[in-house]
Amino acid sequence: MPDNGTSTRPIYRRVAEQIAEEIEAGVLPADSRISSERELAERYGVSRMTARAAINILVQRGLIVRRNRARAYVAQPKFRFDLSSPGGLHQQLREAGVRPGARLIVAEKLPFTALEPQVIRALALNEADEAYHIVRLRTANDEPIAVEDSYFPARVFPDLLDFNLTDSIYGILRKYFSVEPAGSVQELEISMLNAEWAEIMGVALDLPTLEIRRQAFTADNVPFEFAHDIYRGDRIIFAARTVGPENLFTGSGQLWQQALDNLQADD
């Protein structure tokens, strides 16, 4: 294995980096089989344990997937999701030439008394209000990539549950309720996929995920959605544009700060 003899990086990381370079250069295209641990050990002059450690790193990075009794293959390119775009995941996938999809897990109307305080605050609900609770499995080219757990105020979107909720919900809000998403405040947290979400997605437990708690607003600064989303970190590249709080919504940054405080508040 080429090396100048002065590197302090562990050997397994150097092996992983060389394989990653071949993947990124297209030498190893998507869905091509990675050499076995024995073949990699012979190629790089390392032990099979070292070769296995290198493969495990690439699996964690989402560059390689395991199939068919632990056979390793080059993963499909990751999907890109712009967290700062008011357009939803459905719209962004379509614009990237990817086929979006959704499977409805939960669709219910909840009374005020069944809602958690954080939801009530985020949607500015009063005791006479109800909210729709919608949970969906999101897919890209039929591959599960996220679970979205969202709440919408029923007084703003009457009969929302009568629509096709496997389609773009933001598209429904635009077309039938004249609500245009204009911005959001999001709190991000890296975590590992738990058993409940792993079962819904049909993927292995303990995948790296990005949890997003989101409060979405219209151009008039009216909150219309509160959501807790789980995105697979091994299949998505997240991007974001940075703006000052004073530019996030119309007017001052007070609304931004209030929304951020609510996301961080204990229930």
Listed by start position, the domains of the chain span 11-74, 79-264
Strand partners, 139: 101, 144
DSSP-based three-state secondary structure for 253: coil
Could you name the CATH architecture of 79-264? 3-Layer(aba) Sandwich (3.40)
pLDDT at 106: 97
Average pLDDT of the residues of the chain: 86
Residues 244-263 as b/e (b if ≥16 CB within 10 A, e otherwise) read eeeebbeeeeebbeebbebb
Residues across the chain: 267
Tens-place pLDDT, residues 155-188? 999 999 999 999 999 999 999 999 988 888 889 9
Q: What's the average model confidence in pLDDT over 247-262?
A: 52
Q: Of 47-51, 147-151, 193-197, where does mean pLDDT reach its minimum? A: 193-197
Say what the pLDDT of residue 148 is.
95
Q: Are 134 and 165 in contact (CB under 8 A)?
A: yes
Q: Nearest-CA neighbor of 160 among 134, 137, 127?
A: 134
What would the pLDDT profile of 226-245 be if each residue is shown by its tens digit? 999 999 888 888 887 766 55
CATH of the structural domain 11-74, one choice from 1.10.150.530, 3.40.605.10, 1.10.10.10, 3.40.47.10: 1.10.10.10
| CA gap 13, 247 in Å, rounded | 42
- Its pTM stands at 0.74
| pLDDT (0 to 100) of residue 252 | 41
Are the C-beta atoms of 161 and 122 separated by less than 8 Å? Answer: no
Q: Would the pLDDT of 5 be above 80?
A: no
Residue-level pLDDT at 206: 74
Give residue 258's pLDDT.
61
Q: What is the mean pLDDT of residues 33-44?
A: 93
Whether the Cβ atoms of residue 48 and residue 41 lie closer than 8 Å to each other: yes
Dump pLDDT digits (tens) for 54-80. Answer: 999 998 888 888 876 668 999 888 888
**How far is Cα 100 from Cα 142, in angstroms, rounded to an integer?**
8
Q: String of b and e for 88-120 (b: at least 16 CB within 10 Å)?
A: bbbbbbeeeebebbbeeeeeeebeeeebeebbb
Q: Which residues on adjacent β-strands are paired with residue 143?
A: 140
Long-range contacts of 178-181 (CB under 8 A, 24+ apart): 179/218, 179/224, 180/218, 180/219, 181/86, 181/87, 181/88, 181/216, 181/217, 181/218, 181/224, 181/225
Q: What is the distance of C-alpha 101 from the center of its chain?
A: 14
Q: Both tokens of residue 159?
A: 């009969």
pLDDT number for residue 34: 93
